[in-house]
Structure 1
């Protein structure tokens, strides 16, 4: 049990980190970059998995409500042209979404995406909760995400989890979940992945 706790704390730091941060993008930037993915309202749980050990390393949640955002609690993803307010990333258009996934998926880690369709009201509540929760303390990425989900109608049984794979397995039991895995073969270090991600230049920023 002690070993598992140590892994939960250290592995996220080795990937994108569970490290507290405080960011606040200006109102005009957030408004300018606002994007909603066409189609139904959805929640997508993202779990970063170590390709060598199979351990979970980080948890994030994509919320497609009145706009699409990424709840990235205690993550260290940072891009000069993708606005963030504490742990909530705005402007998640297809290009920005690809950049985020690509920054996490590499030789040493892959990303598991679990998408579920929800009502607009549930998606909007998730968005509101995410706006209220950040910034999240170090090593609390999974705990804060499971807490957010458990407050949503239809997700009351999700439970409270501290380990990314535990939440991933609990989320998989929900009806209608669609799962996708993202693998990439670029260098396994964080600096290289972030360097490639920063090449993204959104036209509306």
Structure 2
């Protein structure tokens, strides 16, 4: 196969698998991540985010919010939403306060994409294990968002039926079959350029804190 043809095949495969090109800059320091740690007082839970193309219905990205006893984070493999006020180390976002959580969800829901949100409560030890695994999983290469997330989930107690997949929608379908999953969809009509929402939110944070 010629190199050009091979490149086209690889590109097509990545497009079908979904996931953004990772635009993260240098990692934050461990001290910055530790200082930003946020403990949420709600039940320990895992929340799977699946970004879906409104035109084609294809899955575009997968990420996982982990509410563990020690802190709440978002594992955002090969993600493209990064904030100066939210430390990121190896594709794990720290300091997921209620305000940051709302922004993260809304930044992905825009006129071209909607967000499928699937939440399941888990025992504290399972959430803590998911957190440790996420911290060890990254950084993740582009197009491997669903593969890396399914790799973590499949190793957790109660998630043994999750099999590895490169496709966000296939992972979402598997997740939906778990007992006790709560599901919702977030739709917004914001501009397709997430950079605009990021700039506006960072200005808000600068003016009023988190």
TM-score, with length taken from structure 1: 0.89
Aligned match for 1:193, one of 197, 203, 206: 197
Partner of 2:58: 55
1:26 deviates by 2.5
Partner of 1:25: 28
Contact map agreement 1:99 1:200 (CA 8 A) in 2: no
The separation in 1 between residues aligned to 2:204 and 2:125, in whole angstroms, is 32
1:156 aligned onto 2:144:
no
The separation in 1 between residues aligned to 2:57 and 2:88, in whole angstroms, is 30
1:106 deviates by 0.7
CA RMSD of aligned residues (A): 2.0
Deviation sequence 1:77-120 (CA, Å, 0-9, x none): 11111111120000000011111111111111111110000000
Matches within 5 A, 1:20-169: 21=24, 23-65=26-68, 66-169=70-173
Aligned residues: 199
> Which consecutive residues of structure 2, in runs of 5 or more, have no partner in the other structure?
1-8
The separation in 1 between residues aligned to 2:98 and 2:185, in whole angstroms, is 17
> Which consecutive residues of structure 1, in runs of 5 or more, have no partner in the other structure?
none
- My pick for the range that moved more, 86-95 or 191-200, is 191-200
The separation in 2 between residues aligned to 1:150 and 1:101, in whole angstroms, is 24
Aligned match for 2:13, one of 5, 18, 21: 5
The alpha-carbon distance between structure 1 residues 174 and 18, as it changes in their structure 2 partners (threshold 3 A), is farther
1:181 deviates by 1.1
The separation in 2 between residues aligned to 1:4 and 1:116, in whole angstroms, is 33
What SS is found at the alignment partner of 2:139?
coil
